[in-house]
Amino acid sequence: QKEVEQNSGPLSVPEGAIASLNCTYSDRGSQSFFWYRQYSGKSPELIMSIYSNGDKEDGRFTAQLNKASQYVSLLIRDSQPSDSATYLCAVRTTSYGKLTFGQGTILTVHP
């Protein structure tokens, strides 16, 4: 079993729709959870971080964390073509611990 696993892609949604990206992790001691967006040929950039159970909203983005189910998700509302990218889920177990990444999900938003 992979330590961090993301839903297989690619994911294609029409402009204006909600895109749902999912991630599961195996280490119950995980403390911090991150979503990164990566455009082709570029480095990852942080979109959201979440540390406690529940929802965290930032503009069109909502991160959801359920530690009991070992599940974290990212919702993108009113998807735009500029949201087309690879989305990486990352999990950390200790304060200075290394991040473990999922394999990424490619999202395409078509006009």
Partner 1 sequence: DGGITQSPKYLFRKEGQNVTLSCEQNLNHDAMYWYRQDPGQGLRLIYYSQIVNDFQKGDIAEGYSVSREKKESFPLTVTSAQKNPTAFYLCAIQGRDTEAFFGQGTRLTVV
- From the list 16, 26, 39, 45, which residue makes contact with partner 1 (rule: CB under 8 A)? 45
- 59-98 residues near partner 1, rule: CB under 8 A: 88, 90, 95-96, 98
If binding is defined by CB under 8 A, does position 26 make contact with partner 1?
Answer: no
Terminal-residue alpha carbon distance, the chain:
37
- Closest CB to partner 1 among residues 72, 102: 102
If binding is defined by CB under 8 A, does position 25 make contact with partner 1?
Answer: no
